[in-house]
């Protein structure tokens, strides 16, 4: 049994399986096509780059198989069967171009996604500021109406004493929440009787809420920027390195295939002595 031929054939078959399975995986990831969706493009490029080494392993197996053939064959120019090297080199060059084009595409999509995320954060911060203003307006309106404030405190007292609201029994946590609300309303009623202290506490509450909103906004912006940067470095550099490796293999392989002789050269005829 020719173990060299068997090893070579096994490596070539494994390489073909690696390449075909990866190409099928790429097609499955791309279906259904949705080029207008930026998130879909980012996810597709990320998935393809993460699986980009698989075809490279298949190409390596096939080329190693041919190296074994060359070492075992006394005449390396002798060819038998279908030659996989040329299709492999062409595929490698195509993959190199594909991964190279993915670098600017992915970076552009990530930059657009980061811009959209920052805009959504900005809109959320604006809505939060409006909600704070509405809350302070409600508190101010309530403090200017002592009768309504006392009625609400009285309703809370009744609910706490009865342990139920509208015939529904309250648990311990709900009762504690009602007590906290009653305490807040009582504090608001006491503050409303002291205009200077009320104005001071209102300003403190406003500053506190605005500070919390600003901190959440900065944290969200920092997280969006960091996430975009990490994705850019990881996928961008990985895609660039894959593009270099595939392009080098394809270029050197095609160059060697084109420049290699098509068959064995004829031996020179000996000169006849006169």
The tens digit of pLDDT for each residue in 160-172 reads: 887 777 667 777 7
Please report which confidence band the pLDDT of residue 266 belongs to, taking 50, 70 and 90 as the band edges: very low
- pLDDT, mean of residues 80-100: 87
Nearest CA-CA partner of 88 in 261, 249, 255: 249
Task: Count CB atoms within 10 A of the CB of residue 203.
Answer: 11
Return the pLDDT at 185: 72
Please report which confidence band the pLDDT of residue 267 belongs to, taking 50, 70 and 90 as the band edges: very low
Please report which confidence band the pLDDT of residue 47 belongs to, taking 50, 70 and 90 as the band edges: very high
Query: CB–CB of 15/59 below 8 Å?
Result: yes
Higher per-residue confidence, 121 vs 101: 101
pTM strictly above 0.75: no
The C-alpha atoms of residue 116 and residue 209 are separated, in whole angstroms, by 25
Return the pLDDT at 49: 93
Least confident interval from 75-89, 215-229, 243-257 = 75-89
Return the pLDDT at 73: 63
Which of 6-10, 140-144, 236-240, 253-257 has maximum average pLDDT? 236-240
The C-alpha atoms of residue 239 and residue 254 are separated, in whole angstroms, by 22
Return the pLDDT at 262: 55
138 DSSP β-pair partners: none
Token digits of residue 244: 């270099």
Q: Scanning the structure block, which residue is given the tokens 């594909």?
A: 98
Which residues touch 148 (CB under 8 Å, ≥6 apart)?
142
């Amino acid at each position: 049994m020719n173990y060299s031929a068997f090893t070579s054939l096994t490596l070539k078959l494994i390489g073909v399986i690696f390449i075909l399975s990866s190409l099928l995986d790429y097609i499955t990831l791309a279906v259904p096509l949705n080029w207008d969706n930026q998130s879909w493009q980012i996810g597709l490029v990320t998935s393809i780059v993460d699986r980009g080494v698989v075809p490279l392993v298949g190409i390596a197996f096939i080329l190693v198989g041919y190296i074994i053939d060359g070492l075992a064959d006394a005449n390396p120019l002798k060819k038998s069967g279908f030659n996989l090297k040329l299709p492999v080199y062409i595929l490698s060059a195509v993959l190199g171009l594909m991964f190279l084009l993915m670098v600017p595409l992915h970076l552009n999509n990530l930059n657009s996604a980061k811009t959209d995320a920052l805009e959504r954060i900005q809109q959320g911060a604006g809505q939060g500021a409006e909600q704070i203003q509405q809350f302070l307006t409600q508190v101010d309106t309530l403090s200017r109406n002592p009768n309504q404030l006392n009625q609400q405190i009285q309703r809370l007292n009744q609910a706490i004493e009865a342990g139920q609201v509208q015939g529904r029994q309250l648990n311990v946590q709900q009762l504690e929440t009602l007590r906290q609300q009653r305490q807040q309303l009582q504090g608001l009623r006491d503050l409303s009787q002291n205009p200077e202290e009320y104005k001071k506490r209102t300003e403190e509450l406003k500053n506190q809420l605005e500070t919390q909103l600003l901190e959440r906004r900065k944290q969200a912006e920092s997280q969006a920027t960091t996430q975009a940067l990490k994705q850019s470095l990881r996928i961008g550099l990985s895609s660039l390195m894959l593009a270099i490796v595939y392009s080098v293999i394809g270029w050197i392989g095609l160059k060697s295939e084109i420049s290699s002789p098509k068959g064995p050269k004829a031996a020179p005829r000996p000169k006849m002595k006169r």
